[in-house]
Amino acid sequence: MGILRYFRKTIMENITHLSEPERIRRQKLKDIQQLGIDPYPAESFEVTINSKDIKLNYTSESDADKWKNLSFAGRIMSVRDMGKAAFAVIQDDTGRIQIYVRRDDICPGEDKTLYDVVFKKLLDIGDIIGVKGFVFITKTGEISVHAISISLLSKALHPLPVVKEKEGETFDAVTDPEFRYRQRYADLIVNPHVKETFQKRSLLIKTMRDFLNEHGALEVDTPVLQNIPGGAMARPFVTHHNALDVPFYLRIANELYLKRLIVGGFDWVYEFSRNFRNEGMDRTHNPEFTILEFYVAYKDYFWMMDFTEKMLEKVALELHGTTEVLMGETILSYKAPFKRITIFDAILEYTGIDVSGMNEEGLRNTCNTLQLPVEPTWGKGKLIDELFSEKCEKFFIQPTFILDYPVEMSPLTKKHRSKEGLVERFELMINGKEIANAYSELNDPIDQRARFEEQVSLMERGDDEAMFIDHDFIRALEYGMPPTAGIGIGIDRLCMLMTNQASIQDVLFFPQMRPEQRNANENLEFNNETNATNS
């Protein structure tokens, strides 16, 4: 079967699988076209106002002349038929507003087809229309638009999720996560509060970008496709570069490239980057995620703590007008300064065990005593990380900096200036989860090479998250990198905290999901046909 035959077959199968409401809508589409009406017109429709502006600014005392000849557009969300007149609710980008449609107004002549046939019989909930008219207040006190003309701008062939009717009103919130995440476009239509979450996400990113720019940082871009997946300990996605005929990786972090720019003479750089880690999925992890990383020359991790808490305080104030932000049933305070505690003190506090002087065997025995499953490939760093993650992390609800990690856990971090065996690193914990990770950056190329070689030994033991050696990055350090502070902040998790969402899928427009079964089979068949044709 060739590609064209495959597409024809797929089209016919899709038509066969149409539901009865979908078949009815397609028949209405044909009827509209037979009336000489283009259901998908090409010309622009001028929008002069939106529903939010109307509701905010119109009052009974308003100058009526200013509210005539208005033009706006949106999606039909409900209709109440009253014979020769009707009320409908239209939803645009800013909200919903009621319109009043009277037969003789939109059909002033003898021909009433537009109202009797098109509006009453051929339009459906979900269709997008343009409305021209004037604003008035109904007898029940609702601000509405009296339509003088309506135009069909897009016929919806797929019905919106089933809605409940009660006394002429529609209640259409959809809570099924499977539906909401797969069909985010429909979720955004029927659940207006979802749009608010993503508007806040956009404001959060803008606030952080503005804060960095105001302090002199430069926004940059670094490669998504990398020949060495560096900058973090994670399993990468692998792809193939056809032109170069070599394997490439989707980046797991942009750290090493940003530090190359510090070497090159930029004193403060940042990037909001999309990163990819081929790992598990749960309520706080998605394989594709957004992170903010920035690096500042001549600073250390103490400076970075001060700057980070000030920035998050600014974000909270911008989004909520207060530093007290609700998450679930807990009020989180983003008022600086945040609490600070070392990782060893945290483990001691919540397990009663001092692990600061333990070797790998002692740590492994401690994990076994605490009934923590561990892998034989794990070294000291992974074992300490498991202890903290499983026994301590959940207790740090209010913003807290966890400080001074063992050197084995931090191959890119400068050794501590006064504590043997530790590095100058912190993680910011909020609501029991890591939100940020920061260092006084390692700028000694000889030490960096040794750390990379330690990672190779872990890789040889079977640790598939150990780092590769990046020889070019070492070469960059050999040119000299100034003392530098760097941080990575998980934007998706921070957005969850700032919008009171319990799942990362609720702050991502299109989270990763398994393909729908029928579509997966069709894609497999298409790929097979394509490969056969190319061969």
In degrees and rounded to multiples of 5, residue 465 shows phi and psi of -105, 0
Structure tokens given for 118 = 């098109």
Instruction: Provide the β-strand partners of residue 422.
Output: 406
Would you write out the chain's pLDDT as a tens digit for each of its 535 residues? Answer: 565 565 555 554 555 689 999 999 999 999 999 999 999 999 999 999 999 999 999 998 888 889 999 999 999 999 999 999 999 999 999 999 999 999 999 999 999 999 999 999 999 999 999 999 999 999 999 999 999 999 999 999 999 986 565 555 545 567 888 889 999 999 999 998 899 999 999 999 999 999 999 999 999 999 999 998 888 888 999 999 999 999 999 999 999 999 999 999 999 999 999 999 998 888 899 999 999 999 999 999 999 999 999 999 999 999 999 999 999 999 999 999 999 999 999 999 999 999 998 999 999 999 999 999 998 888 888 899 999 999 999 999 999 999 999 888 888 899 999 999 899 999 999 999 999 999 999 999 999 999 988 888 878 887 777 788 899 999 999 999 999 999 999 999 999 999 999 999 999 999 999 888 764 444 444 344 434 433 3
Closest Cα partner for 231 from 423, 424, 439?
Answer: 439
| Distance of alpha carbon 179 from alpha carbon 160, whole angstroms | 12
Contact assessment for residue 415 and residue 407, using Cβ atoms and an 8 Å cutoff: yes
> Looking at the domain 194-338+398-518, which fold is it?
BirA Bifunctional Protein; domain 2 (3.30.930)
Map 253-322 to HEC letters. CCHHHHHHHHHCCCCEEEEEEEEECCCCCECCECCEEEEEEEEEECCCHHHHHHHHHHHHHHHHHHHHCC
- Paired sense of beta strands 225-226 and 246-250, if any: antiparallel
Mapping DSSP to helix (H, G, I), strand (E, B) and coil, where does residue 13 land? helix
The whole-model pTM stands at 0.88
| Strand-pair partners of 339 | 400
Tell me the C-alpha distance between 524 and 530, whole Å: 10
Element (H, E) at 331: strand 330-333
Q: From the centroid of its chain, how far is CA 375?
A: 32
Tokens describing residue 120: 């009453």
- pLDDT score at 372: 93
* 499: nearest Cα among 246, 254, 365, 328: 328
Is residue 122 within 8 Å of 78, Cβ to Cβ? no
- Token readout for 289 is 């995620």
One of 2.170.120.40, 3.40.50.300, 3.60.21.10, 2.40.50.140 is the CATH number of 3-172, namely 2.40.50.140
Residue 476 has a pLDDT of: 97
| Angle of CA points 54, 56, 62, to nearest 5° | 70
Q: Which amino acid is located at 371 in the chain? A: Q
Q: Are 300 and 259 in contact (CB under 8 A)?
A: no
Give the pLDDT score at 210.
Answer: 98
Domain boundaries, the chain: 3-172, 194-338+398-518
**Residue 90 burial (CB < 10 Å; 0-12/13-18/19+)?**
buried
Cis peptide before 482 (omega within 30 of 0): no
CA distance 63 to 68: 10
